[in-house]
Amino acid sequence: MLRTAIRLLKRAQSIAEELETPDIIKRVQRGRLTYLDRSALGWLAEHVKAVEREQVPGVLLETGCALGGSSIVIASSKNRERRFQVYDVFGQIPPPSDKDGADVHARYAVISSGKSKGIDGDRYYGYESDVLGKVRSNFRELGVDPEQNRVEFVQGLYENSLHPSGPIAFAHIDCDWYDSVTVCLERIVPLLAPGGRMVIDDYFSYSGCRTAIWDYFRHQLDHYKFVYGPRLMITSISAVPQPQATPAKGQPQAV
Ligand SMILES: C[S@@+](CC[C@H](N)C(=O)[O-])C[C@H]1O[C@@H](n2cnc3c(N)ncnc32)[C@H](O)[C@@H]1O
């Protein structure tokens, strides 16, 4: 009797979740275009909508696109006229470093051996010859035309390609390893607008990402709010004081 009631309750919960899930999330998942689960995609959509509601100034960006699933959810949650920049090597992920733990190196060993499986048994996207072409056609198939929605793709390793300018309203950092996450933090966080939000995808799943977050934020915790949900969300709550340049000898000092 109790078991039947629990089963019915669970069934009702899953029907309610299904009904509440935005259509675009269901379509991205059905198309096997993302590594994120439903709650993580919902969390992304919710925070993009929040920066739109709060009119936080600046661009939206994502570092780590793979097949484009999370990018499509972000693009369809934002206002059409807001710029959205998507950064990725659009090929095979670069190797981790000695700052990453054994979990990361084990995952990379499978990828580099050529034996990684893709989502639900598909071919692993990193072995495809034209990942960017595939991402563009995934956007179009789901009815989100990149040009009409001000989505820009920037191809290359972040070390070379990631040079955002101006304020950033929202960033989705989903690039797995220590060095990749660190370069993103170094170039994105100083430009985060007050009230701007950053979702970190791999904080709960990869050791190098966790270390990168704390190596970067440990001395400036007062300026950010950390929210733990389906993923880690970091909000900028005040401007971080920038180091003062030392005046050259003989130069008048402000008093
Ligand atoms: C887990 S996937 C992104 C998943 C995607 N957001 C989704 O919805 O499934 C991580 C991506 O980060 C990219 N990446 C990691 N480090 C990079 C780097 N240093 N430069 C450029 N791209 C990088 C990889 O190419 C890969 O496509």
Mean pLDDT computed over 78-89: 98
Q: What is the mean pLDDT of residues 183-202?
A: 96
Segments forming the whole domain that contains residue 153: 20-236
**88 Cα nearest atom in ligand 1:** 22
Q: Is residue 135 part of a domain?
A: yes
CATH number of the domain residue 218 falls in: 3.40.50.150
How much distance in Å is there from the Cα of 196 to the middle of ligand 1?
A: 22
Say if 76 falls within a structural domain. Answer: yes
Coil, helix or strand at residue 84: strand
Total of domains in the chain: 1
| Ligand 1 pocket: which of 28, 32, 48, 65 to mutate (most atoms within 8 A of CB) | 65
d(CA 123, CA 115): 10
In a domain, 4, yes or no: no
Cα(58)–Cα(72) distance, integer angstroms: 19
Query: What is the spatial distance between Cα 212 and Cα 209, in angstroms, rounded to a whole number?
Result: 5
Q: Is the CB of 41 under 6 A from ligand 1?
A: no
Alpha carbon distance 74, 68 (integer Å) = 10
Report yes or no on 242 lying in a domain. no
Nearest Cα to 233, choosing from 191, 168, 172? 172
Taking only the tens place, the pLDDT of each residue in 18-42 is 666 789 999 999 999 999 999 999 9
Relative to beta strand 192-200, strand 84-88 is unpaired
Q: Would you say residue 98 lies in a domain? A: yes
Per-residue confidence at 237, pLDDT binned at 50, 70, 90?
A: confident
Tokens for 172, please give them: 């989705």
Residue 7 lies in a domain: no
Q: Is residue 244 part of a domain?
A: no
Cα 155 to averaged position of ligand 1 atoms, centre (Å): 11
Residues 201-224 have pLDDT tens digits of: 999 999 999 999 999 999 888 899
Residue 159 inside a domain? The answer is yes
SS3 of residue 190 by DSSP? helix
pTM for the model: 0.89
If you measure from the C-alpha of residue 195 to the centroid of ligand 1, how many angstroms do you get, rounded to a whole number? 25
First to last CA, the chain: 78
